[in-house]
Amino acid sequence: MKDIKLVKLIGDINKSNIDEINNLGIGVEIQSFPQNILDEDYSTIISDCKNKLKNFSNVISLHGSSFDLNPGSTDKKVIELTKYRYMQSVEIAKEIGAKYVIFHSQLNPLLSVDKIRKLKLENQIKFWQDFMNEINDIDVTILLENEYDENPEEILYIVESVNSPKLRICLDTGHILAYSKKSLEEWVVSAKDFITYIHLHFNDGKNDSHSKPSYEQLIYFKNIIEEAKINPILSLEYSFENEVEEINRVRHVLSQT
């Protein structure tokens, strides 16, 4: 892989060495705005992010609200709340200079009635069409992340139907391994035209443990991405203490020929 674009997760921005991250040439995915604070005053967190990131020259992304929201709901009040929370995330992204906002797909694989599944899919498409129109003048790209999705078909159907360059896919490798009936290779082959961003982490295929990838797992991932001929942003969604060591390790493995 060439021109590898890496991103590190950031919880509390005041506990992160942003200058070191910037000097390493990697981006940040801000996860500092959990839903439980969104009805309170979070202006201080925004100010801290703006101050810390004012000279940041790499990718800035934001993980948006995810829990208990449903853009495919048939309940207007649920849609209103979902839109309100999502718009809060977009406005936060605008304030801190994030160009990507990640939302979970909110697709439920346990729905077994085809009529209901199709209705909720169509509701999602309308939701995102309306949402894209409302944020048309804001310089952000919305990324739908697979979570419990068993296959790529429905998330692809949504993105293809909305047909907006501002709505793309964040592929989550760990969620595929833990929850999907399709392999990582099958997901990448199917969704490669829409994959802008990847949450990179691994697990045992049973629990979404967000484990650090081994050398063999990184080679496995690299081969899949190279075969698909895509070069998405890679967000390292697992814990590591030594940033220089881990970034150099991942870059070294992924750049091998």
pLDDT digits (tens, 9 = 90+) for 188-221: 999 999 999 999 999 999 999 999 999 999 999 9
Q: What is the pLDDT at residue 199?
A: 98
* Distance in angstroms (rounded) separating the CA atoms of residues 227 and 1: 10
* Distance in angstroms (rounded) separating the CA atoms of residues 60 and 22: 11
List helix spans (H) across 106-214: 114-134, 153-162, 173-179, 184-191
pLDDT mean over 120-128: 98
Q: What are the CB-based long-range contacts (under 8 Å, 24+) for 11-17?
A: 13/45, 13/48, 13/49, 13/52, 13/53, 14/48, 14/52, 16/52, 17/243
Q: Decide if pLDDT at 257 tops 90.
A: no
**Residue 227 structure tokens:** 């075969």
DSSP symbols for 227-253: HHT---EEEE-S--S-HHHHHHHHHHH
DSSP state of 214: P
Is 27 within 8 Å of 233 (Cβ atoms)?
yes
- pTM over 0.85? The answer is yes
CATH of the domain at 191: 3.20.20.150
Residues 6+ away with beta carbon under 8 Å from 36: none
* Distance in angstroms (rounded) separating the CA atoms of residues 214 and 80: 43
pLDDT mean over 234-254: 97
The band of 2, judged by pLDDT with boundaries at 50, 70 and 90, is confident
pLDDT digits (tens, 9 = 90+) for 94-114: 999 999 999 999 999 999 999
Provide the domain count of the chain: 1
pLDDT digits (tens, 9 = 90+) for 26-85: 999 999 999 999 999 999 999 999 999 999 999 999 999 999 999 999 999 999 999 999
Domain range for 112: 5-255
What percent of the chain shows pLDDT beyond 90?
98
CA 177 vs CA 148, 173, 187: distances in Å: 10, 6, 11
Q: What is the pLDDT at residue 185?
A: 98
State CA 235 to chain mean position distance: 8
Q: What is the pLDDT at residue 138?
A: 98
The band of 177, judged by pLDDT with boundaries at 50, 70 and 90, is very high
pLDDT digits (tens, 9 = 90+) for 137-155: 999 999 999 999 999 999 9
